[in-house]
């Protein structure tokens, strides 16, 4: 073979090698880019939340990402999702997407179902409907479905409650849920919390007091309506109300009238409101416990009933210093003295 021909062949080989190297380099770069280069567009934000509804397909997910203008390159995301076999494994939920996330990290997050939990608490709530609205705003199950459930005798009957008593099913606390929680899953979680709270010791105390678990909760909600914070005074109030129940006296609790009216901003219950609020929850007009709780009873209020302070008190009145504490009396004569001072204190402050 001549020198010229050999030189020509060597040139061709070099060209082919260069082409192979360039091509493989380009291919390698594209693979690296598709997998590891940031593919999330969040502008100046550090993170954002996306919601993937139950039953969503991979195409639904891509649409969600694109509608929120999160993907810089949809095709690279599609390619890697297919390679990672994620296209048939979409999991619903609430996910936090971070700035500068690459396709691999995003797909791993979604494929493993690493959801951002939602928190639900009972702060500031008075009724079951209010709770259902709050829950419905934070999980996938909507408020209407949740409210329908608590009003369904058959559904809540399986839990051991009625529409009137269902509030006693909820033990106030801070709970974490996944966003894609269903109605059934929500109530199942609450049932677990209820069973955990009502230990054998608490059940035995309820029997000793002479009340069912639901009755304990109802009385605890009234005690809490009278005293929100002082744990020791709660026990005294519980003892007083138990005295009234055992003597067949009406409880005569202002918070029950407020609950019956439905205006929780009332600061002073009037004689007219007491007389003309025709409700089974008005404990001035009806003896015994009301049909259901008048609020969400805290653990300390429930335990105050279970571990009440035995006493001979029959009457109580808020102190005239308006600190939230109470004066307790064994006689109506003494009670009238305290009540007059309290009414005068309200008048002096223009509270009507």
Q: Residues near 223 by Cβ (< 8 Å), separated by ≥ 6?
A: 234, 237, 238, 241, 297, 301, 304, 305
DSSP at 241: H
**Rounded to 5 degrees, what are φ and ψ at 257?**
-70, -40
- For 257-316, the pLDDT digits (tens) are 999 999 999 888 989 999 999 999 999 999 999 999 999 999 999 999 999 999 999 999
Confidence of residue 167 (pLDDT cuts 50, 70, 90): very high
CA distance 46 to 50: 14
- Model confidence at 17: pLDDT above 70: no
What is the crossing angle of helices 299-306 and 200-209, to 10°? 50
Domain coordinates of the chain in residue numbers? 1-32, 47-111, 118-197, 200-311, 314-352
- Helices of type H across 112-253: 128-136, 143-150, 153-157, 183-197, 200-209, 213-226, 231-247
Distance CA 258, CA 106 (A): 51
CA–CA dist 148, 155 (Å, integer) = 9
Q: How confident is the model at residue 198 (pLDDT cuts 50, 70, 90)?
A: very high
The residue among 258, 71, 73, 52 whose CA lies nearest residue 140 is 52
Domain made up of 47-111: CATH architecture: 2-Layer Sandwich (3.30)
């Amino acid at each position: 073979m001549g020198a010229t021909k050999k030189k020509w062949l060597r040139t061709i080989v070099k060209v082919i090698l260069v082409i192979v190297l360039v091509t493989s380099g380009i291919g390698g770069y594209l693979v690296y880019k598709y997998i590891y280069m940031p593919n999330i567009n969040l502008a100046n934000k550090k993170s954002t939340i996306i919601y993937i509804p139950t039953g969503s397909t991979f195409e639904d997910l891509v649409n969600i990402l694109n509608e929120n203008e999160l993907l810089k390159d949809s095709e690279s995301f599609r390619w890697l999702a297919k390679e990672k076999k994620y296209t048939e494994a979409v999991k619903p939920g609430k996910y936090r997407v971070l700035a500068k996330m690459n396709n691999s990290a995003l797909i791993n997050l979604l494929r493993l179902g690493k959801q951002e939990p939602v928190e639900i608490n009972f702060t500031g709530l008075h009724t079951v409907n209010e709770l259902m609205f709050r829950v419905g705003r934070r999980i996938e199950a909507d408020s209407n479905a949740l409210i329908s459930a608590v009003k369904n005798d058959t559904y809540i009957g399986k839990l051991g409650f009625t529409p009137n008593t269902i509030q006693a099913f909820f033990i106030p606390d801070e709970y974490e849920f996944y966003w894609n929680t269903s109605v059934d899953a929500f109530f199942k979680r609450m049932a677990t919390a209820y069973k955990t709270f009502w230990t054998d010791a608490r059940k035995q105390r309820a029997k000793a007091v002479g009340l069912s678990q639901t009755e304990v909760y109802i009385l605890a909600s009234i005690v809490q309506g009278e005293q929100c914070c002082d744990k020791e005074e709660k026990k005294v109030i519980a003892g007083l109300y138990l005295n009234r129940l055992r003597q067949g006296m009406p409880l005569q609790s202002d918070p029950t009238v407020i609950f019956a009216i439905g205006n929780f901003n009332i600061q002073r219950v009037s004689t007219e409101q007491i007389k003309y609020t025709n409700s089974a929850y008005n404990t001035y007009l009806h003896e015994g416990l009301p049909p259901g709780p008048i609020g969400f009873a805290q653990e300390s209020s429930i335990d105050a009933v279970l571990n009440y302070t035995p006493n001979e008190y029959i009457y109580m009145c808020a102190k005239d210093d308006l600190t939230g504490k109470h004066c307790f009396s064994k006689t109506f004569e003494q009670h009238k003295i305290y009540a007059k001072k309290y009414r005068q204190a309200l008048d002096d402050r223009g509270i009507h």
